[in-house]
Amino acid sequence: MSQKSSSSPAKELKLVSNRPASACPICKQPAVKPHSPFCSRHCAHIDLGHWINESYSIPAHEAMDDTDIDAMLEQADKDGGLK
């Protein structure tokens, strides 16, 4: 028969991170595990509010109209096109 180890496999596994502790993106306090990357539930909710209110956004460029493309093609034809 095989002998069972006295410790469970879950206790033997340890996650090790070489990253330094991060700061809360809202208040810059050290992050706490249950709320990581935030320091508290309060800061996590503030961040969620920013997302819901669309405060976080990535600026987008307006797409060109077909008329802009047509004008550019006409100008290219006048300039002699591709050489």
* Distance from C-alpha of 81 to C-alpha of 73, rounded to nearest angstrom: 8
**Tens of pLDDT, residues 7-33:** 555 556 555 556 666 899 999 999 989
If you search the block for the tokens 């591709």, which residue do you land on?
82
Structural domains in the chain, CATH included, are 20-55 (3.30.50.10)
Q: Give residue-wise pLDDT tens across range 27-69.
A: 999 998 988 999 999 999 999 999 999 888 888 877 666 667 7
pLDDT reported for residue 16: 54
70 or 9, higher pLDDT: 70
Please name the residue that has the structure tokens 């996590």: 44
For the residues 77-83, what does the mean pLDDT come to? 72
The values of phi and psi at residue 11, to 5°, are -75, -25
State both tokens at 16: 């090790």
Torsion of CA 26, 29, 30, 33, to 10 degrees: -50
